[in-house]
Chains A and B, each alone.
Chain A
């Protein structure tokens, strides 16, 4: 079974632009979570989607948004990019995301650099 895939792997943008990142979960997984990873803050939870609905949300500004499609694929969007948005963005999928034994599997991440 293929793992979680994320595209693109690397992205360079300038301040003020917007960006869309894509995540394809493991086949059969319906829960998709997004995380931001930076050297200073570590791994921080952005949001989680299940059945095309945002079910959980972290403490990020409204410039960060996401959506999930009927095939469970998910996208996240960051508008009006700031230098501090430079990070590794990780996507994780799980079957239902509603059980502690429902392990999250992470993708390789998208490295976003904002200039």
Chain B
């Protein structure tokens, strides 16, 4: 499959444990953020989003936390499963009004250990 990064930070988690993936964003004016999951050989897949007027948003098994003070995002995955193994990217929107142009983080590789 496609290699999305040879030198990505890697998080190894035991199956069934919770995972926390962190991301620092660059622009304090960014007002919308997305987490993407990219599996080998595939393009990024939308997981969850959050607007800057929120601190927390929950989805199915995933929670995103936003700390605007320190420009930090985190993605929490509950009860991590082997299918969660992938590279995870955060993306920030740099054009708060009008059309959207996203800036992506470098990504974190999540490895789920059986």
Which residues of chain A have a CB within 8 Å of any CB of chain B? Answer: 4, 35, 37, 39, 42-45, 48, 50, 55-56, 58, 88, 90, 92, 97-109, 111
Contact = CB atoms under 8 A, between A and B. Distances in A.
A107 B43 contact: yes
A54 to B, nearest CB: 11
Contact of B46 (A37, A56, A103): A103
Contacts of B4: 37, 39, 88
A45 B6 CA distance: 20
27 contacts: A39-B3, A39-B6, A39-B7, A42-B5, A42-B89, A43-B91, A43-B107, A45-B101, A45-B104, A50-B99, A55-B99, A88-B4, A90-B44, A98-B100, A100-B31, A100-B32, A100-B51, A100-B100, A103-B49, A104-B46, A104-B102, A105-B46, A106-B36, A106-B45, A107-B43, A108-B2, A109-B2
B93 interface: yes
Contacts of B89: 42-43
B1 to A, nearest CB: 10
Nearest to A103: B46
Contact of A42 (B32, B46, B49, B104): B104
B106 interface: yes
B95 to A, nearest CB: 8
Contacts of B51: 100
Interface of B: 2-8, 31-32, 36, 41-46, 49, 51, 89, 91, 93, 95, 98-107
Chain B interface SS verdict (over half) = loop
Contacts of B101: 45, 48, 56, 58
Given A42-B5, A98-B99, 10 more contacts: A4-B43, A39-B5, A39-B8, A45-B101, A56-B99, A90-B44, A92-B44, A100-B49, A100-B51, A103-B49
A83 B28 CA distance: 35
